[in-house]
Amino acid sequence: MAKTNKAATMSRLHSAARLSRTALASRLLAHGFYAGQDQIMLALSHDDGQTPGQLAIRLGVRPPTITKTINRLQAQGFLDKKASNHDARQAHIFLTDPGRETIKAIEKSVRKTEKQALKGLDKKEQKTLAKLLQRVEANLSSSELVEIDDEVETEE
């Protein structure tokens, strides 16, 4: 693939990612959530009582980012922190009743955004797209970056 085609492909990938985040953020804001808060809520709906560190690892973000978002969600009444029974220095995060009630709205916002993004693509095209994006993710994973950077340097 020529350089310009690669650049155009990467530009479209960035644009699609940005537009999907913007569409989802707009839907979530209608329910009182900001970008990123939905991921914590959904992670807890699948496995309630995680520590901030576990959430950070699961979501691929830094612990200070998680802590700040957890504090905001707690102030909104969606989450509760409880000290660990085994280690008083450690806290576990739980959904509150209002938090659990909002999960359906978050999931509906995600589904509507998915439907909007994939409109006009048949099942086979969606499957192909998912496989291609999975390959792009694997290519960009940290273990792959070192190998690719080394290859580029030796080619120059």
Q: Which of 68, 82, 21 is nearest to 40 (CA)?
A: 68
Model pLDDT, residue 89 = 83
Higher pLDDT, 139 or 115: 115
Query: What are the sequence ranges of the domains in the chain?
Result: 3-119
Model pLDDT, residue 145 = 52
Q: What is the CATH topology of the domain spanning 3-119?
A: Arc Repressor Mutant, subunit A (1.10.10)
pLDDT in tens, 72-128: 999 999 999 999 888 878 899 999 999 999 999 999 999 999 999 999 999 999 999
Cα separation, 130 vs 53, in Å, equals 29
Rounded to two decimals, the pTM is: 0.77
Q: Helical H runs in the chain?
A: 3-29, 37-46, 52-59, 63-75, 97-118, 123-140, 142-155
pLDDT in tens, 33-53: 988 899 999 999 999 999 999
Averaged pLDDT of the chain: 88
Query: What is each CA distance from 144 to 53, 103, 135, 140, in whole angstroms?
Result: 25, 35, 11, 6
